[in-house]
Amino acid sequence: MKRTWLLFSQAVTVLLAAYFVVATLKPQWVGGPGTRSGTVPLIEAASNGAQDIPAASFRLAAQKASVAVVSISTQSARQAAPGGDPWSRFFNSDPNDQPSGGLGSGVIVSPSGYILTNNHVIDDADEIDVLLQDGRHASGKVIGTDPDSDLAVLKIELDKLPAIVWGNSDTVQVGDQVLAIGNPFGVGQTVTSGIISALGRNQLGINTFENFIQTDAAINPGNSGGALVDTAGNLLGINTAIYSQSGGSMGIGFAIPVSTARLVLDAIVKDGKVTRGWIGVEPNELTAELKETFGVKTDRGVIITGVLQNGPASRAGLHPGDVIAQVEGKPVNNVSELLTAVAALKPGTAAKFQLERQNQALSLDITPGVRPKPKAIQR
């Protein structure tokens, strides 16, 4: 009996060992994975359905914001002059064609059909076609433009329009992740990602009033007027320009913050234009050369090198060589800050300017006028 049981145990052991060897080396012989010729055993991730979103994905933010970003194409019967605005050449396919066409983007900011875009996208356009993400087309009507900030407001007449959610550009910080959404090169709506590289960029010579958000999210021709959004899909800025030596993205893009865009939007919708304060001076940075020329000792403020005769500043007694240190109690450290502070003043209402004249502190009440229409800026 014992001998029989021993033989049975040995036989079972040998058979099991042979089975495991065959199953490992030739699984198809025993009906294991890979039984069918040409198939490969794979390990597939478990899926939770439509809500199975990777932790680092920006999918929800892109979906939330993209529906409110539109593509804008323009047609103009006017032929561009040879050697004209290089920014126009950057965005238009061929300025020597007649009629000429341009491409850009825009953001639906209200369900009633208001769209924010760049002024240079629709400047001189005779026809404006707006393409929504859902495939609908509409003709865009220009409600107003503001060349000083390079913003424009359009309106389209369609039902059930999606509108973007406004964020707060005053709370963002360098290093925050952002998405840029637009229609680069006319290939169709595209989403790129990056971070906020810098804040408060100015003195770039792009706009009269500059306070840009800088980002390394890829922005290319056709992205102008599109949305810069946070990782929740909320609007932070309107993409407006890039620094490039090749015509494409080099990781330096600029967006107008929504804090500025909101003021321009409200003014245009209400009055059809943006009214800014103006005092009629020629301001300059306080350089060592100008300090020596005018005998100035202070290191802070903006020096005035020219005053328009019979302008608001002239009538108030401002002189060349005066250094403006504050406007309505707010310090001004450079020309950009002075222009912004003066532009924010209400025309016809006196404002207090703190300045230095011949190394003596002085206070003047200047009643600003309405800022004249700006000349075209060479971009």
CA distances from 318 to 290, 356, 360 (A): 17, 10, 14
Do β-strands 100-108 and 69-76 pair in parallel, antiparallel, or remain unpaired? antiparallel
Among this protein's residues, is 112 annotated catalytic?
no
Distance CA(105)–CA(163), nearest Å, equals 15
Do β-strands 351-357 and 360-366 pair in parallel, antiparallel, or remain unpaired? antiparallel
Residue tagged active-site, from 120, 148, 216, 322: 120
Q: Establish whether the linkage from the previous residue to 54 is cis, with ω within 30° of 0.
A: no
Residue tagged active-site, from 224, 230, 249, 336: 224
Among this protein's residues, is 137 annotated catalytic?
no
Asked if 102 and 73 count as a contact pair (C-beta separation under 8 A), the reply is yes
Number of residues that this document lists for the chain = 379
- Nearest CA to 60 out of 196, 191, 161 is that of 191
CA angle 359, 361, 365 (to 5 degrees): 130
Among this protein's residues, is 150 annotated catalytic?
yes
Residue tagged active-site, from 85, 123, 150, 322: 150
Amino acid occupying residue 204:
L
**Catalytically annotated residues:** 120, 150, 224
